[in-house]
Structure 1
């Protein structure tokens, strides 16, 4: 009898110990968010500055990779051809892997702009070998530019983006300049608002903290300009991961190239308004992050890089593993709530434990995203109401992303599944109709939403049990966040074209702001010879290809 009791207690304490270990890992990454916020505020004034300008503008190639982007292809090409830069120094490559009507749309657009005098190419591949990385590498074979700008299909590049980035390359050490993403449909629905806050945290806090403190940052796959020599020196575009941008970024910085991040230079793009598309995008990013971690982290840790760079690279490349820990916590949550009532029956120790977890894990995430909204908007307090749902959404996609992480660490490279673009904001665009049509066309039965729904119902049951037995603690709000996240993600995966736009329908949103942004770009006049659109600050002029002293280069104070 005593042996049975002892064995049961041993199991219970062992179970609790495993839970505490997993929770400790989550808190470990939560503490890292505090570190990023600290670095941001410490180095926020360490802004990059242009210390010299090109005497003669260098030649630039703009690459537009796309695959079956009929809703947005023409918009991107038109906006790119209205970029203000000397026409004889600008080459545009439409790297088209499409298998649908996009091919004809692109061909017509390219033909039109070629007649206007632009050096624009339509490079259509009949196979997707290497996916986006393969298309970019193929385009470089005929690229004539010393510098290469890249835009994904859903972006609308501002007319002055080349003029505002090119002079940072007068520092021969700079290999890449990244602009910040802005969002065409930020206010379309609850889902897009939440995504916008998530991405704002990445671009406003993470990127600035890493770049300005001298740590490694990543190119985001679009809205960035590369020095062609940097791409070649780092080994070129490689397609053994699904995040070719992250992969090349680290390989280039390991080689000693410097990156520049410009948070004040923005390029608007479309956020996925549909849950299934959002999950596909998250899956690709999580899997690609795990693949890049597996590929490059050992090299980084064994290199002679400074310890601060190694430590930040470790957190950056392994951050995707948090989704694995979150799934484990989800499944272990209620038994642990029950155990804590008995193990910490005296009371105060249980609340100290719960409050510590709240401070390290939950509050760190809240502070991270609140800081980004405060830096972006004067009326940042309005974004506070989205923080709880942001956390719930992050928990709700944990199963989706945990599968991706496991596939990234242990599986094959896999197919690059593009994120569906709906052309939201375009005249006559009806994204919900298109989302519904995509679901009708995809008749494959997907089991993941069933598991997400089952987990959500399990957590709902746990919540009732906790409240019904009066075993209520600070941990109960965690249960609510987990439950709301899983139920929302599962239900909107099935009914996303209805529920995903619920906020839009209730508020009568007409996406008024989106056509205004787009029309401003499209209405830009076509000049015979595009020149710089913004005045250049006084600086010494220098010919392209010159070597520069440290006091003439980009100043990272």
Structure 2
């Protein structure tokens, strides 16, 4: 604790005291949990519950300390050590040639054309745009984009690949082969992004430093203000780029994203291009470049805006893909993250612990299922299975409260949205818990995943039912509701333990209820933008 207080003197005193209190709380709780068997008589059922809840408490405390460190650094830092502002534009003779790559599959042509028009308006002397359409079957979708590239002139080149392997990474690797020999920087943008005219001119100066391999801007969104579902997801996305990316940037450990990103071409080619074995090729490339000794720069300035996912199905599938891909990277690069090497301790810390919140979602699913089973056993066989001691339950319930309070507090300080938007963003985030849990567990046991395009527009003639995308979450809500009613009918309010157990079941149901709310709002609001 003293080492932390001294090493992080750049934090304000109240921040250091806050985190030291968290550390003391964690140490005290672990000590108390270890001594419980010596202070209380435990029957075999109590021992079984202790065996389940003690590892859960360790995981909870790890997540709480990691989130607490982020909270303290973001809220109470004196100044950012690695702050990267927009730069003055370089004179044309010093501007590096930039090759902009736009990979797309089955995207609405008018959406892609809007992106191309914004690129045509760039205030930059030396650039080209490569549009790589991979595996779109309907000519009515890709032909208008090809025609528009011809209209925009020789700077814009269109490639239609069919069939082509490797998902988005495969398309980007093909684009790399077609890149103009003069290009020193490769920029990647999603098909729905409209960029500022000064995107390249205000950022390319960072590549004059030979150690810089990546310049990353935040993902941001447009046309969401009057659609409640799109609005809540837009603000949910915004939180990571206002909070988590700054926290990681302090130790040169940002997550590279597949849009609004610029990469030094020589570093990209020397390190093998885009990895086609993972469905998160962008984050994996960033990690590889850090391992190669390069710096990654995060400029927290909105230089382009895209569209939010069209519906809850698209929203869930995108986060599932990120969680699955994260596990692919974790398995493939485990040695990099756990053993001394080119990665700094700070980089290893962030790439190991940065996904802990997602592991918490995975564990939440496991413990919810276990709580349902235990509740069923108590209801069916009360003579054999009893309520856990309240001493086991209070720390678990306190974690739910603490995590919610810290998250909302940090959001209010860092994200420029209203209280209502903050709460709706929290609902959106919690509603993804089940999708993330599935992505984590399947990513750990499966080797390959399918890259599913995140739909920004659906154009469905027959809209599915509101809850078609959240059937599993609906079953979980029903199961938890039955468990809660059964507990109330059997135990009433006679015991403190029964009230605490019901409170835990209610807390466990919140993410699944949030998913139902998100799916219903997406269905009600439809696909309208603006």
TM-score, normalised via structure 1 length: 0.75
Tell me the equivalent position of 1:554. none
Q: Deviations over 1:189-211 (max 9, x none)?
A: 44333322322221111111111
Paired with 2:176 and 2:426, the residues of 1 have a C-alpha distance of 44
- Call closer, same or farther: CA 1:474–1:358 in 2, change over 3 Å: farther
Q: Aligned match of 1:404 in 409, 417, 439?
A: 439
Superposition deviation, residue 12 in structure 1: 4.2
Question: Given the alignment, which residue of 282, 286, 293 partners 2:330?
Answer: 293
8 A contact 2:89–2:202 mirrored in 1: no
Whole-angstrom CA distance in 1 between matches of 2:360 and 2:322? 14
Q: Could you tell me which residue of structure 2 aligns to residue 124 of structure 1?
A: 160
What runs of 5+ residues in structure 1 fail to find an aligned partner? 1-7, 423-430, 441-445, 515-557
1:242 partner SS: coil
Which of residues 399, 403, 411 in structure 2 aligns to 1:357? 399
2:177 corresponds to which residue? 141
Within the candidate set 445, 463, 478, 2:484 is matched to: 463
Distance in 1 between residues matched to 2:251 and 2:267, nearest whole Å: 18
- Which deviations, in whole Å up to 9, do the C-alpha atoms of 1:395-447 show, x marking residues without a partner? x433333222222222132321111121xxxxxxxx6xx2454759xxxxx8x
Residue 219 of structure 1, CA deviation = 1.1
CA distance in 2, matches of 1:306, 1:14: 40
Between 1:283-292 and 1:335-344, the stretch displaced more is 335-344
TM-superposition CA deviations, 1:454-478 (whole Å, max 9, x none): 2110111233345551266466555
Residues 452, 489 of structure 1: 8 Å contact kept: yes
CA deviation profile, 1:484-534 (whole Å, cap 9, x unmatched): 5324535876xx6xx4153x48xxx975xx3xxxxxxxxxxxxxxxxxxxx
Change in Cα spacing, 1:473 to 1:188, as seen in structure 2 (3 Å) is farther
Does the C-alpha gap of structure 1 residues 244 and 461 become closer, same or farther in structure 2, counting only changes over 3 Å? same
Are 1:239 and 2:260 matched, yes or no? no
Q: Residue 178 of structure 1 contacts residue 262 of structure 1 at CA under 8 Å; is this kept in 2?
A: yes
Instruction: Identify the range of structure 1 (331-340 vs 223-232) with the bigger mean alpha-carbon deviation.
Output: 331-340
How much is the aligned-residue C-alpha RMSD, in angstroms? 3.2
Alignment partners' CA distance in 1, 2:330 and 2:251: 20
Structure 1 partner of 2:52: 18
Task: Give 1:300 deviation, angstroms.
Answer: 2.7
| Corresponding residue of 1:91 | 128
Paired residue secondary structure (1:148): strand
The answer to whether the 8 Å contact 1:107/1:122 transfers is: yes
Are residues 1:104 and 2:150 paired?
no
> Does 2:370 correspond to 1:370?
no
Contact 1:62 1:92 in 2 (8 A): yes
CA distance in 1 between partners of 2:345 and 2:238 (Å): 28
Map 1:383-402 onto structure 2 (within 5 A). Answer: 383-386=421-424, 389-390=427-428, 393-394=429-430, 396-402=431-437
| Post-superposition offset of 1:96 | 0.7
Deviation of residue 241 (structure 1)? Answer: 0.6
Which segment drifts farther, 397-406 or 91-100?
Answer: 397-406
Q: Distance in 1 between matches of 2:474 and 2:410?
A: 29
Matches of 1:438 and 1:303 in 2, distance apart?
52
Tell me, in whole angstroms, the C-alpha distance in 2 between the residues paired with 1:436 and 1:20: 51
Partner of 1:489: 515
The 5 A counterparts of 1:409-448 are: 409-422=444-457, 434-435=459-460, 437=462
Match of 1:226 in 2: 263
Among 280, 286, 300, which residue is 2:317 paired with?
280
8 Å CA contact 1:96–1:103 kept in 2: the answer is yes
Partner residue of 1:268?
305
Question: d(CA) in 2 for partners of 1:320 and 1:272?
Answer: 20
Classify the secondary structure of the residue corresponding to 2:203: helix
CA distance in 2, matches of 1:410, 1:220: 25
Moved more, 289-298 or 54-63: 54-63
* Structure 2 SS opposite 1:416: coil
Structure 2: gaps spanning 5 or more residues:
1-41, 379-384
Q: 1:365 to 1:14 in 2, by over 3 A?
A: farther
The 3-state SS of whatever aligns with 1:218 is coil
For residues 454 and 39 of structure 1, the distance between their equivalents in structure 2, rounded to whole angstroms, comes to 39
Cα distance per residue 1:341-364 (max 9 Å; x no partner): 5523xxxx4785356424553333
Q: Secondary structure at the match of 1:162?
A: coil
Is the contact made by 2:211 and 2:295 (CA closer than 8 Å) also made in structure 1? Answer: yes
Retained in 1: the 8 A contact 2:100–2:187? yes
Q: Within 1, Cα distance between the matches of 2:118 and 2:61?
A: 44
Q: Secondary structure of 1:500's match?
A: helix
Deviation readout 1:232-265 (Å, 9 max, x if unpaired): 2322111111000011000001111111111123
- For residues 166 and 92 of structure 1, what CA distance do their matches in structure 2 show? 16
Aligned pairs, how many?
Answer: 466
Shift of 1:179: 0.9
8 Å contact 1:26–1:361 — kept in the other structure?
no
Distance 2:315 2:386 in 1: 36
**2:66 alignment partner in structure 1:** 32
**358-367 or 131-140, larger mean C-alpha shift:** 358-367
Looking at structure 2, the residues matched to 78 and 138 of structure 1 have their Cα atoms a distance apart, in angstroms, of 23
Select the structure with the greater relative contact order (CA < 8 A; seq sep ≥ 6): 1
Matched residue of 1:214: which SS? coil
| TM-aligned CA deviation for residue 367 of structure 1 | 3.3
